[in-house]
Amino acid sequence: MAKIVIIDRSLDETQVEGKEGLSVMEIIRDSGFDELLALCGGCCSCATCHVYVDPTFSSLLPAMSDEENDLLDGSSSRRAESRLSCQLFFSDALDGLRVTIAPED
């Protein structure tokens, strides 16, 4: 099974199984990470599932939508590798994906 590495706000790394078809947000939440609030439940309306994606995986991810970009613009911790984890759906092609949970705004 494909894996995803989640780095929490304390910079502790945890490797978990990534389930095909689930969003990265769902995988993080279902793995017990309380730091990722995901208040809107994955509707791309709150940006509380903000993560930093390891740049080596950027080319494997879908392009950012205007809605996602606008929500991230409201974050004081936005970086070049910022994404909303609810907009990233996991597949075996993303085996080894590394994401860091962004600071809470």
Q: Residue 94 sits in which domain range?
A: 3-101
Would you state the structure tokens that stand for residue 65, as one six-digit string?
């939508």
Residue pLDDT, tens place only, 49-77: 999 999 999 999 999 999 999 999 999 99
Domain count, the chain: 1
CATH, residue 78: 3.10.20.30
Residue pLDDT, tens place only, 25-46: 999 999 999 999 998 888 999 9
The overall pTM is greater than 0.85 = yes
Q: What is the dihedral of CA 73, 75, 78, 83, to 10 degrees?
A: -80
